[in-house]
A and B are shown apart, each in its own frame.
Chain A
Amino acid sequence: MSSDTSKKRKPKVIRTDGAPQETKRSRAETDQDVKYYSEEAEVELRDPSKDYELYKQTCQELQRLMAEIQDLKSKGSKDSAGAIEERRIQSCMHFMTLKKLNRLAHIRLKKGRDQTHEAKQKVDAYHLQLQNLLYEVMHLQKEITKCLEFKSKHEEIELVSVDEFYKEAPPEISKPDITLNEPHQQTLARLDWELEQRKRLAQKYKECLANKEKILKEIEVKKEYLSSLQPRLNSIMQASLPVQEYLFMPFDQAHKQYETARHLPPPLYVLFVQANAYGQACDKKLAVAIEGSVEEAKALYKPPEDSQDDESDSDAEEEQTTKRRRPTLGVQLDDKRKEMLKRHPLSVTIDLKCKDDSVLHLIFFYLMNLNVMTVKTKVTTAAEMTTPISAGDLLSPGSLLNCLYPGDHGKRTPNPANQFQFDKVGILTLNDYVAELGHPYVWVQKLGGLHFPKDQPQHTVSADNSLSASHMEMTMKLLRTRLQSRLALHKQFASLEHGIVPVSSECQHLFPSKVVSRLVKWAALPYEDYLELSYTKDVVEAGLAEDTHLYYMALVERGTAKLQAAVVLNPGYSSMPPIVSLCLTWKGEKTNSNDDNIRAMESEVNVCYRELCGPRPGYQLLTNQLQRLCVVLDVYLETESHDTSVEGPKEFPQEKMCLRLVRGPSRMKPFKYNHPQGFFSHR
């Protein structure tokens, strides 16, 4: 009430135009009213728009007053001072009003701010609440989806189908009256049935286990029995061995061999089988065996075979790396070569026995990475033989089987693909390794069923039984012939070195009983030396002297006449005849180039060799040829016309009976011996 009054009063004060007493009074009043008066409360009661009007009025009033003062001042009249004073007072009043208004405005502003702040806090609180609620809603929704997505364990259990369930389950479980309508109950019932069934199966399983245990125990007992049987059987086998041997039935051995044969690489296996078969069928003196470590062979096949391609790839990579690392290059290449030339740990040996109990041992190897087979040879003779010096090469492993088939010297690899492999590791030719590895003859490949085409370098080569079979008989025959002919030569050389030309009784008819010319020397001759002889030029030019052949020098003498005979021994002796080139030193040097009769003598020995072969298979050919050489030298010397201008007797009186001394345009001497009349005639 008091505030009301003060408020009412105040405008009054303001409205009252600046009477000083009134101002004093109002001050007193305000002093009195301090206890009650509050401008804040006054603000509540006042209308801001009215205040604004008041403010505008006051400002206008002020402007007017100011303008009047200015007018008055500009007039500068004396009387105007009072008017100016009055007006100054009025304007002060107005300033007061303005001040009041300003204060009010401040208070109002503060109030407004407070109000706004209050309202904002309220809004914030509401907002927080809203957030919480939203979160709660979200959580609940999540919970709901979780619940919805929940899977019961029973869904994973495979149940029997509904139809089956109703068919098989007893009614106390299936309860069709309830379950048919209620899927939940139905599922429960089906689960019950499943449980029931599983219980039964578990029961059965247990029974089976027990059964198994029982059977295992039985097996154990039986095993024990069997293992106790093995030693007994072994002892029986051992005991039966003598019987087997006695009856020539080496079942046991053969069986063992077949077992081992399983681990042979295909070419050796083919060879083993075919050689065995041939031995059983046609050749009782052929023995086949397997040597080497089976364990290693087994180990070889445990890891899957690295294909050739991989290796070559890695090779290429390695090559690149080795380029950077110079010092180890040699060692690496060496290792690689060794790897490339690796033999299979198993080898097949074939022992060919000849009639005179000498044996040719052939050891066949398989070079795994090159896919070729090699052979090493050894000869054991029945009786101890003194080795003639000139026979050095006859039975040496290097030359024994040389050119078994024409041109097959076993120095180059028969697999054309190998050359590429060699290039990679820097092997020039296999020849350098032949002594260590054995010879890769073509016939060996054929026995192993490996067929390498000549013209196309890359070809899949697999071991072929039929190829091996087709070559087996021929090759075995050739091998035996080769051995026998070499042994025969070996024996002959021994006596040839002592200057004796052995002539068997079967061949006596080929020669006259009296032969004066004597063999004085028989020695091996290096190939290079043979090539350098002047009188062998024709033979060399005719391509009949190759480095695979064996060369010998024979010297036949009679009196002052010396006949040198350079002999080429073809490895295929005796089906391929030895070739003799002659040089007679007697009254000058006579060879086939300056004496037709020397040529005829050569031809008598070389071309007419068939009659000299002697009893089959003709191993006496060489000795017969040498003997004939002695005979024709006799004829040559004895029939040489005596130079009438020279005094003295003929050096070689004619002892041979000859029909005619010379004949034909070439004035040939009678070199052909006729048995049994014993005279010489022309051919």
Chain B
Amino acid sequence: MQRVGTPLPIGHRSRSPPCSLLGAVVLVRGAQGDDVREARAGGAAHVVLCEEEASRHLQTEMDAQRALELLHMTVFSQSVSPCGKYLAAGNNYGEIAIFSLSAALSSEAKEESKKPVVSFTAHDGPVYTMVSTDRQLLSASNGEVRAWNWSDIVKKGCKEAWSRRPPYRSSLEVPEINSLQLNPKDNSLLLAGGDCAVHVMDLESGTFTHKFQGHSDYVHCLALRDQFQECLSGSEDGTVRMWDLRTGAQVQVIEVHKYEECSRPQNGKWIRCLATDCDWMVCGGGPALTLWHLRSVTPTTVFPLPPCQQHVMFYQDLILSAGHSPTINHLQISGEIRAQIPCTPHSVHSLCINEHSPEHKVLTAAGSSHKVDVFTNFSYRAFSLCFA
């Protein structure tokens, strides 16, 4: 730091208190009067110094605030870019951070490369869910879905491409969007959330074409059953419903909590996660994670996992699931638990496998932590990407 102003001569015999006192007064409140004008420059410099000090103080306050935010951060959603090199993660503060998987996975990866390449505030509320089309990243929060061009994001220009709001009834509260599901066949987007309905939006025109109503509580999750042009939705009301995408009619209702095999009344009846493989569906939440045969609508396997599961997916001949425990479960169709891999978050909200790029094929897990775990080999945690 450069010091400005002439230091007063300090000697035990050669000082004159009244004079230096005057100088000091000037330093504090700025010059007043002609006789002390030359001291003004020094005074101004000190004002700058004080401001610097104050701003540094403010900075530490900001740092403390951010530290608290990190401490209480929950990462709800993830999505991999179409090129497979980037991972977007959205947290409860409405921020989306873009991590470079290629940098973090490269051999000369440093601590710095595990931090976001860019991060921006996308929504006012938490970023509950995200999907990627071949050009855009779609993120959803309270009552609104927004699109961001991947080409812009990579160049660190984070400008919203468009935003849409499903037609909601007016209410005190804006319903949240809990799940987004792309339907590539007719280029449409399925949205579901707080208003207990599933909306279908045409990505071409941006218009909402269908609204599937029937759930009595908000919808947690969606899954697409390609071959049948059907869509599944799991809800807080404890049901999984199947919808015909063409007509919008409700095909089937499975009241999961009513089946004794999987019902767990102490946890509630909510269905938090589901995945489908045409004939098979796996769903979990309050009830135990269960594999269903859809055609016969019977629970075939109940997985012995006491904690509530929050994300489930088919992967090759395995089922991967995670939830209210700091583990990622590898399950076999037969009902055996093949492995439970420890991870950082106490509660895992989303799992994501990068299928777009073979050399960056990793499993990422995010949840109630500011760290996103990366599994290169699915059987152990390689490292964590951190929000900053």
A residues near B, CB below 8 A?
Answer: 258, 261-263, 266, 269-270, 273-274, 276-278, 280-282, 301, 405-406, 462-467, 469-474, 538-539, 542-544, 570, 575-577, 579, 592-594, 596, 599, 602-603, 606-607, 641, 643-645, 659-660, 662-667, 679, 681-683
Task: Determine whether the beta carbon of A607 is less than 8 Å from that of B72.
Answer: yes
Closest to A542 in B: B71
Task: Give 1 or 0 for each of B21-56: 1 = CB within 8 Å of chain A CB.
Answer: 101110111000000000000100110011001100
The listed residue (A273, A274, A466, A664) touching B5 by CB distance below 8 A is A466
Task: Determine whether the beta carbon of B72 is less than 8 Å from that of A602.
Answer: yes
Task: Determine whether the beta carbon of A643 is less than 8 Å from that of B28.
Answer: no
Provide the residues of chain A in CB contact with B28, threshold 8 Å.
277-278, 281-282, 469, 472-473
Q: How far is the CB of A197 from chain B (nearest CB, A)?
A: 45
Q: How far is the CB of A642 from chain B (nearest CB, A)?
A: 9
Q: A282 and B29 in contact (CB under 8 A), knowing A273-B17, A301-B12, A641-B268?
A: yes
Which stretch of B172-180, B182-190, B207-215, B332-340 is in the interface? Answer: B172-180
Interface flag for B358 (CB, 8 Å): no
CB within 8 Å of A: which B54-97 residues: 54, 57, 60-61, 64-65, 67-72, 74, 76
The listed residue (A465, A570, A666) touching B8 by CB distance below 8 A is A465
Provide the residues of chain A in CB contact with B4, threshold 8 Å.
466
Provide the residues of chain B in CB contact with A679, threshold 8 Å.
172
19 CB contacts below 8 A, A to B, read A273-B21, A274-B24, A280-B25, A281-B28, A282-B29, A464-B3, A465-B5, A465-B20, A466-B46, A542-B71, A543-B67, A576-B64, A577-B68, A603-B72, A664-B76, A665-B76, A665-B310, A666-B74, A682-B176
Task: Determine whether the beta carbon of B21 is less than 8 Å from that of A606.
Answer: no
Task: Determine whether the beta carbon of A465 is less than 8 Å from that of B24.
Answer: yes
How many contacting A-B pairs (Cβ < 8 A)?
Answer: 160
Task: Determine whether the beta carbon of A473 is less than 8 Å from that of B50.
Answer: yes
Interface flag for B110 (CB, 8 Å): no
Interface flag for B194 (CB, 8 Å): yes
Measured CA separation A357–B57 after assembly (Å): 27
Q: A665 and B173 in contact (CB under 8 A), knowing A469-B24, A474-B54?
A: no
Measured CA separation A282–B43 after assembly (Å): 14
Task: Determine whether the beta carbon of A576 is less than 8 Å from that of B42.
Answer: no
Measured CA separation A538–B370 after assembly (Å): 11
Q: How far is the CB of A576 from chain B (nearest CB, A)?
A: 5
Provide the residues of chain A in CB contact with B220, threshold 8 Å.
665
Q: A665 and B178 in contact (CB under 8 A), knowing A607-B69, A660-B194?
A: yes
Measured CA separation A473–B7 after assembly (Å): 18
Interface flag for B225 (CB, 8 Å): no
Task: Determine whether the beta carbon of B10 is less than 8 Å from that of A269.
Answer: yes
Measured CA separation A546–B54 after assembly (Å): 23
Known contacts A645-B266, A660-B218; 17 additional CB pairs below 8 A are A262-B12, A273-B17, A282-B28, A466-B45, A466-B46, A467-B3, A470-B46, A470-B49, A473-B28, A474-B57, A542-B71, A544-B71, A570-B64, A576-B64, A579-B68, A667-B272, A682-B173
Task: Determine whether the beta carbon of A474 is less than 8 Å from that of B50.
Answer: yes
Measured CA separation A51–B298 after assembly (Å): 189
Measured CA separation A262–B10 after assembly (Å): 10
Interface flag for B166 (CB, 8 Å): no
CB within 8 Å of A: which B288-317 residues: 310
Q: How far is the CB of A322 from chain B (nearest CB, A)?
A: 34
Q: A471 and B10 in contact (CB under 8 A), knowing A539-B71, A607-B72?
A: no
Closest to A265 in B: B12
The listed residue (A464, A471, A602, A606) touching B53 by CB distance below 8 A is A471
User: For B4, B21, B76, which residue has the most chain A Cβ atoms within 10 angstroms?
Assistant: B21
Q: Which 10 A-B pairs have the closest CB atoms?
A: A277-B24, A603-B72, A470-B49, A645-B265, A466-B5, A593-B346, A258-B17, A469-B27, A277-B25, A281-B29
Interface flag for B368 (CB, 8 Å): yes
Q: How far is the CB of A442 from chain B (nearest CB, A)?
A: 12
Task: Determine whether the beta carbon of B68 is less than 8 Å from that of A466.
Answer: no
Closest to A260 in B: B17
Measured CA separation A567–B220 after assembly (Å): 35
Q: A277 and B194 in contact (CB under 8 A), knowing A301-B12, A464-B3?
A: no
Q: A273 and B71 in contact (CB under 8 A), knowing A262-B15, A464-B3, A592-B346?
A: no
Task: Determine whether the beta carbon of B67 is less than 8 Å from that of A270.
Answer: no
Provide the residues of chain A in CB contact with B49, threshold 8 Å.
470
Task: Determine whether the beta carbon of A474 is less than 8 Å from that of B178.
Answer: no
Task: Determine whether the beta carbon of B60 is less than 8 Å from that of A406.
Answer: yes
Q: How far is the CB of B79 from chain A (nearest CB, A)?
A: 15
Closest to B22 in A: A277
Provide the residues of chain B in CB contact with A603, threshold 8 Å.
72
Measured CA separation A265–B370 after assembly (Å): 52
Measured CA separation A466–B23 after assembly (Å): 10
Provide the residues of chain B in CB contact with A273, threshold 8 Å.
17, 20-21, 24
Measured CA separation A270–B349 after assembly (Å): 59
Closest to A544 in B: B67
Provide the residues of chain B in CB contact with A665, threshold 8 Å.
76, 128-129, 178, 220, 272, 310, 349
Provide the residues of chain B in CB contact with A473, threshold 8 Å.
28, 50
Measured CA separation A117–B17 after assembly (Å): 108
Q: A666 and B349 in contact (CB under 8 A), knowing A542-B67, A544-B71?
A: yes
